[in-house]
Amino acid sequence: MARLLSRLRIAVAAAALALAVTACYTPSVPLPPPLVQDMTFSSGTVADTVILTSPAEPQIGPARFSIFNVSRGTGVIFVANSDGSFTSPPFPGAEGDYVQISYDKDNDSAELCTTLHLAGSLTGATCN
């Protein structure tokens, strides 16, 4: 009988430990990539600069964005508005440059890369 109770205690302890471990683990849901087809590049007010604009994307909200012009080795970091819309600060760029767009919110992030085309919809791809 004592041996049965001992085995029962071990089984209950193991079950409690397994439950405690799984209760502490909450898988994160990755952020969706930004809707790049709604974003547009346009010329900045200073020569050889561009800006990126995006309409509201409520699922993103006030995320921290970074736009890095890989072709020129420079970029900008900023926070989107509470509705996810933004107009980036101007950064060096021109037609045909390869650009990485990424954002981070609550320690989740997503990134896409695209070729810079002025006044046209973006097409995103996985970054190299």
Beta-strand ranges (E) seen in the chain are 40-43, 49-54, 64-69, 74-79, 86-87, 91-92, 98-105, 108-115
User: How much is the pLDDT for 125?
Assistant: 77
**Residue 51 belongs to domain with CATH number:** 2.60.40.10
Question: Does some domain include residue 14?
Answer: no
pLDDT higher for 6 or 59?
59
pLDDT digits (tens, 9 = 90+) for 9-61: 665 555 555 555 444 444 454 445 556 668 899 999 999 999 999 999 888 88
User: Per the domain annotation, does 74 fall within a domain?
Assistant: yes
Confidence of residue 79 (pLDDT cuts 50, 70, 90): very high
CB 65 within 8 A of CB 102: yes
pLDDT at 51: 96
pLDDT for 25 equals: 47
Assigned domain for 122 exists: no
- Predicted structure pTM score: 0.70
Domain count, the chain: 1
Range of the domain at 87: 36-115
90 in a structural domain: yes
80-119 pLDDT, tens digit per residue, is 999 999 999 999 999 999 999 998 988 888 888 999 999 7
